[in-house]
Structure 1
Amino acid sequence: MTGLAFIFPGQGSQEIGMGKALADAFPAVKTVFAEVDEALGQNLSKLMWDGDIAELTLTANAQPALMAHSVAAMRALEATSGLSAADGRFVAGHSLGEYSALASAGAISLADTARLLRIRGNAMQGAVAAGEGAMAALLGADVAQAEAACVAGRATGGVCEIANDNAPGQLVLSGSKAAIDAACEHAKANGVKKAMALNVSAPFHCLLMQPAADAMAEALSGVTISAPVVPVVANISAAPTSDPDVIRQNLIDQVTGRVRWTESVQYMVGQGVTSTAEAGAGKVLTVMQRRIEKSLNGFTLGTPEDLEAFTAFIKGEAHV
């Protein structure tokens, strides 16, 4: 289906109960959560379904949990409709969602993906001392305005970079706290609608994350990566690849690099993608893409009801 891409959400979409309805409805889904639990040596599924949201939101838990839900959704889709990642033109994921995309496309085993995300979560959390880093959202800004704000932020001597280009008018900065504060002041003084600090545990996707990138380089060196069944559109390049060596390097580089989500969606649309299916928790990417390309059909695959609606759409379309 050349017009379909599967997309996978990143951190922030977690919630208690995530994936439970899928596990209750589909035996194939239960095995996903059991395999992740075994790989981590932790009853993560119990935390996801009956635990404390503060504990689930810890980066080391949220990352593998979100991946498990995404892969579970894809397994459920295959059980209900016979569709899999191989039926899409591309897969793409936002930040940690890139791991979910690769697992769903057969590039990395489920157990390895879970272990990698536990390492990634711990490494990202531990890369910067509490209070030294910050992130801020610039609402209504374009990339040029965000870049100018970063220049002002770096004038303090600290790190200040665009971490996420999520959608037109929705950019996120990351770096040293004083630099981010200065960048926000510059943005507000130069026509940006709103500059607001984000409640995050660390300054993700900037050079302060280099220790985490080093940890991921070591972890990924011991993991088998295969060519995915369809190309993955990478965060760091907004371009497709199926080369395992390139995928490995992209996963290292994305820890400190910009999530180029706007460009990733634009690339897929330019290649004929007309519909996306967001596998996993929430609908953040589906909502964001409306700001990027209004013509895209967006579906979510987080619950049995979502799967039913998407399957009905697929069956009613000669070409997706």
Structure 2
Amino acid sequence: MRAFVFPGQGSQKVGMGVELAAASPAAREVFEEVDDALGQKLSAIMAEGPDDQLTLTENAQPAIMAHAIAVLRVLEKEGGIVLTGAADCVAGHSLGEYTALCAAGAFSLADTARLLKLRGQAMQAAVPVGVGAMCALIGADLEKAQTLADAAAEGQVCQVANDNDPTQVVLSGHREAIERAIGMVKDHGIKRGVLLPVSAPFHCDLMQPAADAMAEALEKTPPRAFRLPLYANVTAAAMEDPAQEQRLLVEQVCGRVRWRESVLAMRAAGVEHFVELGGKVLGPMIGRIDSETKVTSVISMDDIEALAKEIG
């Protein structure tokens, strides 16, 4: 069995998609459609920067999605690969869950771009700049991270945001609490804590205003039936009901990204090959979760041709 997986924030970089757009009309169509849907030249920011514009949450989220869907469209249109024939399920990390839903037909490309633009804006607006922060705990499992978060909170928000793999957990919350957590890592048997260069504290209770905004947006643009099961971030379980997934997407804004458990659940269901489209972020995590599994990262035309040859 094979899973197609889609990366989250942090996988953006200036120049993303340039080679693909030059080589493939299918990729260019994706970037043009996203530009039209958003009423901005996002593709130009992706190609040329500046970097601070691309890393803005409201630009990074639709950009990462557009890049991954461009890779998928090229694979489908020029590699002759049909998603439902090539993959048994899909999943995505945080915003990547929207990309996965787009890939599986639950949202149109234009709607996905608009939802992610709004999601980025709402997340940024939920907490004043400087009030929140996030940190990665290196050498921490979920239990150690949870104990540290509880100890560092001191009445403020300090929560596990991402359970990425057995060696990396991310905390999110009030800046003071996150800084306390970083200062306490050694006491909790954790190798180190690294403050992340993010503009807002994602996946914690401080994001409730953004969750409310997404609830409203998803009422107007609910997911349709999807062609493949999706492993949802907040449940780490296969999901096929659009109405339930709509609720989970709202929960996901404040909820923990249960990526490690999602990968283990896919493995338990029989997945032996994970294909990451549009990034090289999830692959190393999956390798640390289960070293026996096969992981392929697909970004370039060469990557696409190699995958098409392998699974065609």
Answer whether TM exceeds 0.5 for this pair: yes
Cα distance, 1:82 vs. partner? 2.1
1:312 to 284, 297, 309: 309
Deviation at 1:85, TM superposition (A): 2.6
Cα-to-partner distance string for 1:132-162 (whole Å, 9 max, x where unaligned)? 11111111111111111111122x2100100
Instruction: Give the match's secondary structure for 1:123.
Output: helix
Aligned partner of 2:14 among 6, 13, 16:
16
Aligned mates of 1:226, 1:190 — CA distance in 2: 45
Aligned residue-pair number: 311
Shift of 1:240: 0.9
Aligned to 1:71: 69
Match of 2:255 in 1: 257
Q: CA deviation at 1:81?
A: 2.7
For 1:182, the aligned partner's letter is R
Q: Following TM superposition, by how much is the alpha carbon of 1:191 offset from its aligned partner in structure 2, in angstroms?
A: 1.2
Task: Quote how far apart the aligned CAs of 1:250 are.
Answer: 1.0
Shift of 1:190: 2.1
CA contact (8 A) 1:95 1:235 kept: yes
1:56 maps to 54
Matches within 5 A, 1:1-320: 3-87=1-85, 88-154=87-153, 156-280=154-278, 282-315=279-312
- Deviation string 1:150-200 (CA, Å, 9 cap, x unpaired) is 11122x210010000111110000001122222233332121111221121
CA distance in 2, matches of 1:214, 1:226: 21
Structure 1 spans left out of the alignment, 5+ residues: 316-320
Using structure 1 for the length normalisation, give the TM-score. 0.95
- Identify which range, 180-189 or 241-250, moves more after superposition: 180-189
Shift of 1:302: 1.1
CA contact (8 A) 2:79 2:305 kept: no
Q: Distance in 1 between matches of 2:141 and 2:124?
A: 29
What is the identity, as a one-letter code, of the residue corresponding to 2:77?
Answer: A
Give secondary structure in 2 for the equivalent of 1:254: helix
Q: Are 1:152 and 1:182, in contact at CA under 8 Å, matched by a contact in 2? A: no
Is the partner of 1:81 in helix, strand or coil? Answer: coil
Tell whether the 8 Å contact from 1:188 to 1:195 is kept in structure 2 after alignment: no
CA RMSD, 1 decimal: 1.1
Q: Distance in 1 between matches of 2:81 and 2:44?
A: 28
Q: Counterpart of 2:255 in structure 1: which amino acid?
A: G
CA shift, 1:308, in A, is 1.6
The CA distance in 1 between the partners of 2:131 and 2:67, in whole Å, is 32
Distance across 1 between alignment mates of 2:143 and 2:185: 11
Q: Secondary structure at the match of 2:253?
A: coil
CA distance in 2, matches of 1:85, 1:237: 23
- Cα deviation, residue 100, structure 1: 0.5
Write the distance in 1 (CA, Å) between the matches of 2:173 and 2:77: 43
Runs of 4+ in 1 over 6 A off after TM superposition: none
**Which AA in structure 2 matches 1:209?**
M
Q: State whether residues 222 and 246 of structure 2, in contact with CA within 8 Å, keep that contact through their aligned partners in structure 1.
A: no
Q: Does 197-206 or 20-29 show the bigger shift?
A: 20-29
Gaps of 5+ in 2: none
